[in-house]
Structure 1
Amino acid sequence: MTDVDASQARARVYRRRRIVVFSALAVVIALVTTGGVYTANALGAAVPAAAPQVIDPEPVAAAPQPLALPGFGSYAVGAVGFDGLVAAGNESAPMAMASLTKVVTALVVLEAHPIAAGEGGPGIEYTEADVDIYWDQVAQNSSVAPVAAGSTLTLRESLEAMLLPSGGNYSISIANWAFGSVDAYLERARAWAAEQGLAETQLADTSGLSLDNVSTATDLVRLGQIALADPTVAEIVAKPTADLPEVGTVKNSNKLLGTHGVDGIKTGTTDDAANLLFSADVPVGGSSVTLVGVLLGGETHAVLNEAIAALLDSIAPGFHEVVPLEANQVLAEYTTPWGESARARAADGASVVVWSDTPVDVEVRAEPVTLAARGEEVGTAVVHVGAQEISVPLVLDRAIEDPGAWWRLSNPGALG
């Protein structure tokens, strides 16, 4: 081999070595670069969310409550704070209200002349004109309460004379005082009834003496609820008696008052029928439910009262307390791909008072969780009771923490 041939051979070997070295270097660089990108991506990637395994409580429903329903007339009973009616029969039939009309008179007058709590309101001076009204009502066989010319009663006392013994003469005198005339009062009273949604209620006078004063049991339950919401009316109709200056002691005509939980509201009597718009408090656990009802068309008040007493006694046991959720009750469980677990618990308990067989159901709305601290809110438990809903937050009972670098690097397929 010549020197030239040897030199060329050495050059070829050098070139091959350089190619191998640089190729190996490129592979090393590629591996380092790829590994660094993977590591960075793995350590910075979001961990997968853990889906909740929901634990749905069983719905609660009692047996239907049997009722002792009246076998006559038109009636309806509702409960304050509850949807619909507890009991009803012929509730849409228009019937004469009689003296239940005086409840409207009281509310409309008090709208124009409200009485502050603990006060008697403005004074009303009674004159010979009011005495004439008294005798005119006596001649029409209307219920009345004594009145003396020259006497002054507060508005509260005047309302007591109208509502307790059902003094029809006072309904006219109060309307004249408040609005200037009965016609002006009726204009406002009819508008007021429409505003209150009493669409089937027709008003012809202040006292109910006219049979043209008509309403339905459904409307009258609504009227009773409005009356109880007025503190002056609610206080007056619950009184068995009242001592009035220059009038004497007047007695409440509601003979059921103080029995069967009854604390109001107003009697009504026509030549053919006895009516009662009533309210009663029913104890349930540590609270109570207020019932408002009406029965129209009794043969006598004795017959009417017996039917209402039996109805109330049968309704009362139908209200009961249900506890669909306990505080700290487990409603969902979480398990992460890296082996951590936590439970969603009700932050608070929930109790509800229900009527009869009204179902109580709990809907669990738990959300997926990635990383979260102990006590973090992760959803809601919604208690459904008829149209009512009660929401209780769901919170984690332990933290769900990051799985760490090793799990991230060794589980590339689990990372988002």
Structure 2
Amino acid sequence: MRTTDTLAEFADLLDDAPGRTPSDGRAGQIALIAFSATVLVVLAGGGGYVWWASTAALPAPTVTSQAPTARAGATAAIALPTTGSALLSIEGGEAYLGPDASGAFAAAGGDDPRPIASIAKLITALVVLDAHPLSSAGDPGPTLSFTEADTDLYDDFYVRGATIAKMPTGTRLSLHDALAVVLLPSASNYAVAIARWGFGSEGAYVEAARAWLSANGLGDTRIVDATGIDARNTSTPADLVALGRIAAANPAIAAIASMHSVNVDGAGLVTSTNGLLGTLGVSGLKTGNLGDGSFNLLFTSSLDVGIGSPLTITGVRLGGATHDSTDADVVTMLQSIADGFHTLSVGTRGSEVGEIATPWGSGASLVLSKDADLLTWSDTGVSVDLDVTTPSTYADGERVGTVTWTAGPQTTSADVQISGAIEEPSLWWRLTHPGELG
């Protein structure tokens, strides 16, 4: 670069310098002469200041960032009944609900023994199958031949106002089908008939049932007959939930309890008294009432709440006012569990999490590259981690980090990128800030 060219460039710079006006006149010319003399000295001694200033390394921009905030969801409120009693146990969601969810996740009304009515027939079925097991859900098992004494049970329970099903003399059907008539329409005559078949008499069955209850740790359950129509057949919510787990683990019982109806030789079409089958994942197990305004439901549900695998819920409602209100209570409880899971919006595409600033006044933003959602339970807290690295090019769209959100077992993330172009400084800034150049 020639000295005259350099001086001309300086003259132009001075003319364009901030605050410079044509009225500066002679003062400007004097300043130019003085400045030119200085530059001549620099150029002569240092090899060219302008060249150095125009090519020297710039100071690194300053990067600042702050992790975004994420609010927890609303606190879950399990809608438990205010009368009678209820107990819910949940398996499969411990990572969200806590390790105690498989015990008493939610309960109301205490754990005192109450009449269980026809839930006792579920015990009858389990005790009979313990002595005469079926190999699979579809195994018909042995054939039962009902005698005249068995068919007389129809009239006996009819006059007592109990639920019954047709049983013509000489009826022959599989143990599987006989159990279906016991469990679906809750036929008391069939319950006593299979108890007699399995153990010789109903009294012998009661003894076997008590031994079975003791062996299975159901010490707060009392059985006095095969049907449950005697109010002395009692149990606690905790025992009944444990009973429900045992029943759900029996392939034959679980399959029968999940059926809406089935045609059975002799009995005809039998229909389940559990009107919730298929609602909110309900798959069983047994209703029961004594006709005195005390309605019960021991139930299982495979409740899909969006966490990958459904929750396995075992629950009981004792002492409902009516059959319909008992069903409504169970639906409300299950729905409140599902409603306790939230999909939270934790990050929005384009939202700012930092900025880049240069000494010469140019800058850009650090923003999230996409929206981010996170599934949480109740008011589980959300932790946020921001990891930002030094940009390599400071270019618009360059990925410079990640934001990670975690709540319970769920984690989601979004990239952090530069938004906006960082402009080079002017030659004037370079020339007037030699101390900031590399």
TM-score normalized by the length of structure 1: 0.62
**Structure 1 position 87 matched with structure 2 position 101:** no
Q: Provide the rounded CA distance (Å) in 2 between the counterparts of 1:91 and 1:163.
A: 27
Q: Which amino acid aligns with 2:87?
A: A
1:358 shift after superposition: 7.6
- Match for residue 131 of structure 2? 112
CA contact (8 A) 2:76 2:340 kept: yes
Q: Provide the rounded CA distance (Å) in 1 between the counterparts of 2:73 and 2:167.
A: 54
Q: Provide the rounded CA distance (Å) in 1 between the counterparts of 2:382 and 2:163.
A: 48
**Structure 1 position 101 matched with structure 2 position 112:** no
Structure 2 stretches lacking a partner, 5+ long: 1-70, 93-100, 344-374, 384-407, 410-438
**Structure 1 position 185 matched with structure 2 position 202:** no
CA contact (8 A) 2:126 2:247 kept: yes
- Match for residue 73 of structure 1? 84
- Match for residue 39 of structure 1? none
Q: Provide the rounded CA distance (Å) in 1 between the counterparts of 2:82 and 2:129.
A: 36
Alignment match of 1:306 (pick from 313, 328, 339): 328
Q: Provide the rounded CA distance (Å) in 1 between the counterparts of 2:157 and 2:215.
A: 30
Alignment match of 1:158 (pick from 178, 184, 201): 178
Instruction: Name which of structure 1's ranges 107-116 and 308-317 shifts more when overlaid on structure 2.
Output: 308-317
**Structure 1 position 236 matched with structure 2 position 256:** yes
Equivalent residue runs for 1:279-298 within 5 Å = 279-283=300-304, 284-298=306-320
- CA deviations 1:135-162 (Å, max 9, x no partner) are 1111111111111111111000000000
CA contact (8 A) 1:75 1:88 kept: yes
CA contact (8 A) 1:80 1:225 kept: no
Alignment match of 1:259 (pick from 271, 279, 292): 279
Q: Provide the rounded CA distance (Å) in 1 between the counterparts of 2:128 and 2:143.
A: 14
Equivalent residue runs for 1:294-373 within 5 Å = 294-318=316-340, 356=378
SS in 2 for 1:116: coil
Q: Which amino acid aligns with 1:303?
A: S
- Match for residue 96 of structure 2? none
Residues 316 and 122 of structure 1, relative CA distance in 2, 3 Å threshold: same
1:65 shift after superposition: 1.6
- Match for residue 194 of structure 2? 174
CA contact (8 A) 2:183 2:286 kept: yes
- CA deviations 1:100-133 (Å, max 9, x no partner) are 0011111111111111222100000011111111
1:360 shift after superposition: 11
- CA deviations 1:173-212 (Å, max 9, x no partner) are 0010011111111111111111211121110100101000
Q: Which amino acid aligns with 1:76?
A: L
Q: Provide the rounded CA distance (Å) in 1 between the counterparts of 2:295 and 2:119.
A: 11
SS in 2 for 1:243: strand
- Match for residue 169 of structure 2? 149
SS in 2 for 1:287: coil
Q: Which amino acid aligns with 2:121?
A: K
Residues 245 and 229 of structure 1, relative CA distance in 2, 3 Å threshold: same
Q: Provide the rounded CA distance (Å) in 2 between the counterparts of 1:354 and 1:189.
A: 43
CA contact (8 A) 2:80 2:86 kept: no
1:69 shift after superposition: 1.6
CA contact (8 A) 1:97 1:208 kept: yes
Q: Provide the rounded CA distance (Å) in 1 between the counterparts of 2:147 and 2:263.
A: 20
CA contact (8 A) 1:151 1:246 kept: yes
CA contact (8 A) 1:91 1:218 kept: no
Structure 1 stretches lacking a partner, 5+ long: 1-59, 322-352, 362-384, 390-416
| Percent of residue pairs identical | 43
CA RMSD of aligned residues (A): 2.7
- CA deviations 1:2-41 (Å, max 9, x no partner) are xxxxxxxxxxxxxxxxxxxxxxxxxxxxxxxxxxxxxxxx
- Match for residue 296 of structure 2? 275
Count of residue pairs the alignment pairs up? 276
Residues 220 and 161 of structure 1, relative CA distance in 2, 3 Å threshold: same
CA contact (8 A) 1:127 1:148 kept: no
- CA deviations 1:373-403 (Å, max 9, x no partner) are xxxxxxxxxxxx9xxx9xxxxxxxxxxxxxx
Residues 150 and 77 of structure 1, relative CA distance in 2, 3 Å threshold: same
Residues 360 and 110 of structure 1, relative CA distance in 2, 3 Å threshold: farther
CA contact (8 A) 2:73 2:376 kept: no
1:83 shift after superposition: 2.9
TM-score normalized by the length of structure 2: 0.59
Equivalent residue runs for 1:40-55 within 5 Å = none
